[in-house]
Chains A and B, each alone.
Chain A
Amino acid sequence: DGGITQSPKYLFRKEGQNVTLSCEQNLNHDAMYWYRQDPGQGLRLIYYSQIVNDFQKGDIAEGYSVSREKKESFPLTVTSAQKNPTAFYLCASRPRGQSSTDTQYFGPGTRLTVL
């Protein structure tokens, strides 16, 4: 998990509220990613960003938004439009400009529970 921090580790919100999950990395990586993990479904890609001020939708972007104003930060907002937001959220980063086969580095995750 080294080099990527996610906060908080556990987050509780009431239904209908927007919530922002933090992801910060000090690895000087260009690319950053957000995944959602549900039991038995593996990791599903929400958004990714290859460079600052640019990001693309992943497979399940509906109900989520992101920003990439700084290289080291890639916050994820879970909006009230997300139908089933309770899940474990993982942030990852990868160096760009090296081999595209380079591996991803993951943060420790945030478990979001919507009551």
Chain B
Amino acid sequence: AQSVAQPEDQVNVAEGNPLTVKCTYSVSGNPYLFWYVQYPNRGLQFLLKYITGDNLVKGSYGFEAEFNKSQTSFHLKKPSALVSDSALYFCAVRDERGGSYIPTFGRGTSLIVHP
């Protein structure tokens, strides 16, 4: 089965500083990777995805993610953090179950941006 790991439960960063939220993956074959964001008591919102092509993927709200095959990583980044970026971030990978493609999610990383 495919899986992703988010090694940090929480990331703290000052507003205006760059931020990185880490994700590593374990897949057989080509990985299809996603990042989602969840604000308190809300559903998840899609940020970006990697299927193939450029290793740097640009997404919503100024976020981007870097796919690194040698390190099996797909870290989420933003050059300058905003307080409003504070939320729960989930990395996900496409998995296959009985012929259906189902995303498998990491445990989530809480991002806290301090003013």
Partner-B contacts on A (CB < 8 A): 1, 4, 6, 9, 31, 33, 35, 40-43, 45, 48, 50, 56, 58, 88, 90, 92, 100-101, 103-109, 111
| B contacts with A: majority SS | strand
Partner-A contacts on B (CB < 8 A): 9, 32, 34, 36, 41-46, 49, 51, 90, 94, 97-98, 100-103, 105-108
Q: Are the CB atoms of B100 and A104 closer together than 8 Å?
A: no
Q: Which residues of A contact B105 (CB under 8 A)?
A: 35, 42-43
Q: Show 29 A/B contacts (Cβ-Cβ < 8 Å), sorted by A.
A: A1-B43, A1-B45, A4-B43, A9-B41, A31-B100, A33-B102, A42-B90, A42-B106, A42-B108, A43-B90, A45-B102, A56-B97, A58-B102, A88-B41, A90-B43, A92-B44, A101-B32, A101-B51, A101-B101, A104-B44, A105-B46, A106-B43, A106-B44, A106-B45, A108-B42, A108-B43, A109-B41, A109-B42, A109-B43
| A contacts with B: majority SS | strand
Cα distance, A41 to B90, chains bound together (Å): 11
Total contacts A-B at CB 8 Å: 61
Q: Are the CB atoms of B100 and A48 closer together than 8 Å?
A: yes
Closest Cβ of chain A to B68, distance in Å, is: 19
Q: Which residues of A contact B106 (CB under 8 A)?
A: 42
Chain B residue at minimal CB-CB distance from A6: B43
